[in-house]
Structure formats: structure tokens, C-alpha cells
Amino acid sequence: MPGLFIKRHALSVSEHVDISVIYVHADDHLDNDYETVQDLEEGLITIRVYFKKAKGIFGPIRNGFRYLKAQSKAFKLLLERSSMPDLIHVHVLTRNALYAYWHLIKNKIPYVITEHWTRYLPENNGFKGSFRKLITKEIVKKSSAVLPVTYNLANAMQNHSLKNDNYKIIPNVVDTERFISAIGKKENKKKRIIHISCFTDQQKNISGILHTLHDLSKNRTDFKMIFIGEGEDLEHMKELCSALQLDHIVEFKGLLEDDYLVQEVQKADLQVLFSNYENLPVVILEGFACGVPIISTDTGGIKEHIYDFNGSLVSIADSNAFKSKIEEFLDGRHTYNPDMIRVYAVKKFSNSAIGKALYEIYLKDIEE
């Protein structure tokens, strides 16, 4: 769900400060050049401005100007409902930060940056373009703080010469009051394994999971595999599942949200990821909040939160090691501690923990 991570950050710190949210996005289907939507969502003033996406050879240039104009419209609407902000919190570079940079120059309003994007990682190599890099370096340099979700991402950004003296790690937020451990003992006759993703096989390597399941199924069927999510490769993965004759042990649930997602995570005995590159997927953290361990590839910042009590790591694309770790779990040779997993999630990723960390950063940057 676009913007969900940002909303969770905003809600976590809203206990300490007044937060308003501006969201700007292109829309191919608008009748007018701009449309605005204003709401009060869970106590947050939320202003969305959509602009009509231009096409043709000059489309990218026109869309750039429309984006900035949409941000200006949103800010003016915000000032009609609230006062001038003391600080601007930007999520995801680069163009999202242009208006914040302008306000720093014009109005001396400081800004901080949270980054989630994998484009800086060498496995992705998506941070390209001389002009983009030049602008991004300047924006990062003038930021009061840069807040990647993992140390791994922070290092990757700095390897691209995105320098700032105030890098701090602030992970994504989990609603630990909604994602809670299942009540009572799980009664699964077969071990229930889940995978949750956006079904982009290039990144998530879902085909690798299916081939591993195929190898496992040659000798055992004491597990049930549940895939949750939707995306560009979902239908192809369903076809591959059938071709590998896995329909008897695999189920595709599609996109699940809210309590439907929580219930599936609570029922799981194990979560698996076999990604080629990641930062720190929030689905891992949501699983932790429900006491569910993870077996994952060692990519991005995942290893920063994996210990013997909550998960296991294998090398990228190492299907033999991946299979072996799943077998160890199914055989009971490697057990995890659901209570410790849950405690760790609340301590590290809850609204309370992240909200307090953000508030302390806000205070310091505003005072300076």
C-alpha cells in the first residue's frame, strides 16, 4: 500500500507533536490538471494533490513542473488549516525533498530525510543520472538528519557520496497492538509457512522458493506453504507452482490487509524470504510482533535484527542452504522462542519506540 510506511511513522510521533501529511502523485485518469483531497485521518491532517500526468517528448519536464506546483498547492492548503511548520520530514528522495530544500533556503525551516529505497544498494544499482546525483548530494548535505531504516542502507548511501554528519538509523514501525501473538497453542496439523511480498520475482525470488519447495516435497509433505500478496509476477508464479506439481501444498491468498493479514501471520509457524536484495522488509517485523521466526537470505539490513532466537540466514540464491534451514525447522532441530521474538519487536519497532526516537531527533533539529 503506497505511503503506508510513511503514515505509520507519522502516527508513531503524533503522540508528541502535531503532524500534518502532504502527498503528491501523478494520475493518468484525471479530468482536470489537478485534484485535491483533504482529510483528517486518525488525527493527522492529510492533504493529497494529484496532477494529470503529461505524455509526449516533453512529458517528463512538464510532469516535473506539475509535481512542484502540486506540492505548492498542498502547502498552501496546509497553511489554511495549520501554522507554518517548525520542521519538514521528507520520506524517500529525491524530488520529494525539493520543496523542503526550498523552504530551508527561503524560510529557514529545517528538514530531515527518511529513506527506504533499495536503489542505492549495489545489488539494485538504481541510483543513476549525473543531474539526479548532483541534486541529491546537495539535498542530503543540507538535511538536519538522514534517517535510513538500516545501517546497510546508510552505508550504501554514503558509498554514493551522499554525505551528512548526522546519519541515524530509524527502522520502520509495526503496530504491535494489532500484530500480536496468537492466543493459545497453535493447532496446525502441518507446519504452516508464509511468504508475504509484492510478487516481483527479480527482487523477491519467489521462483526460487517454489523450486525449493519442489525439492522438499519429494520426501515430505508435512508443511503447508501460504503465499500472500499480489504483483506483476503473481500469475507467472501460480503457473510455475502448477508446473512443479505443488498445488497440494501451496496456497495463494492474494492481497490481505488489516485483520485478515494479522490472522494469517498469527497462524504461521515460520516466515520465509529468499530475496536477491532488500532493506528491512516490514513483513519480517510484523511476523516478529506475532512471535513468528524468519528464514531469509542475508541481504540488506535484515541481518541487523536476526539472532538465534528469532531466525536464520542463508546466502543469496543458496537454495541448498535454504532448503536445509527449512528442514531443520520442520524436524525440530532448530527451535525459536516466540515470546522473546515478540518482546524484541515491541522494544525495537513499536509505535512507542519509534515515536520517541523521532521526537528526540525533531527536538534537537528544531532547537539547533
49 three-state secondary structure: strand
* pLDDT tens digits along 157-201: 999 999 999 999 999 999 999 999 987 767 778 999 999 999 999
Predicted local distance difference test score (pLDDT) of residue 139: 97
Q: Write the DSSP symbol of residue 167.
A: B
Closest CA to 64 of 164, 141, 140, 131: 131
Overall average pLDDT of the 295-304 stretch? 97
Maximum C-alpha span of the chain:
67
* pLDDT tens digits along 16-47: 999 999 999 999 889 899 999 999 999 999 99
Predicted local distance difference test score (pLDDT) of residue 185: 65
Please report, rounded to a whole number, the percentage of residues in the chain having pLDDT higher than 90: 86
Predicted local distance difference test score (pLDDT) of residue 187: 74
Overall average pLDDT of the 116-138 stretch? 92
Say if residues 207 and 237 touch (Cβ distance below 8 Å). yes
234 three-state secondary structure: helix
pTM over 0.85: yes
Say if residues 336 and 355 touch (Cβ distance below 8 Å). no
Say if residues 349 and 172 touch (Cβ distance below 8 Å). yes
Overall average pLDDT of the 309-326 stretch? 97
The three three-digit cell numbers of residue 3, written as one number? 505511503
CA dihedral for 193, 9, 152, 23, sign (positive or negative): positive
* pLDDT tens digits along 256-285: 999 999 999 999 999 999 999 999 999 999
Predicted local distance difference test score (pLDDT) of residue 188: 79
Say if residues 139 and 98 touch (Cβ distance below 8 Å). yes
pLDDT of 4 > 90? The answer is no
Please report, rounded to a whole number, the percentage of residues in the chain having pLDDT higher than 70: 99
Predicted local distance difference test score (pLDDT) of residue 108: 94
Alpha-carbon gap, residue 105 to 50, rounded angstroms: 26
pLDDT of 208 > 80? The answer is yes
* pLDDT tens digits along 236-252: 999 999 999 999 999 99
Q: Do domains 4-175+350-367 and 191-348 have the same CATH topology?
A: yes
Burial (CB count within 10 angstroms: exposed 0-12, middle 13-18, buried 19+), residue 231: middle
Predicted local distance difference test score (pLDDT) of residue 7: 87
Domain boundaries, the chain: 4-175+350-367, 191-348
Overall average pLDDT of the 53-76 stretch? 92
Cα–Cα distances in angstroms (integers) from residue 114 to residues 43, 89, 134, 312, 319, in the given order: 22, 7, 19, 28, 34
pLDDT of 1 > 70? The answer is no
Find how far residue 80's CA is from the centre of its chain: 32
pLDDT of 322 > 60? The answer is yes
The three three-digit cell numbers of residue 196, written as one number? 508475504
Overall average pLDDT of the 283-304 stretch? 97
Predicted local distance difference test score (pLDDT) of residue 203: 95
Overall average pLDDT of the 80-101 stretch? 93
Choice between 118 and 254, residue whose per-residue pLDDT is larger: 254
Please say whether the structural domain 191-348 has been given the CATH code 3.30.70.100.
Answer: no
- Per CATH, the homologous superfamily of domain 4-175+350-367 is Glycogen Phosphorylase B; (3.40.50.2000)
Alpha-carbon gap, residue 39 to 16, rounded angstroms: 21
Amino acid code (one letter) for 361: I
Predicted local distance difference test score (pLDDT) of residue 365: 83
The three three-digit cell numbers of residue 225, written as one number? 506453504
> What residues are paired with 270 via a beta bridge?
193
Q: What is the mean pLDDT of the chain?
A: 94
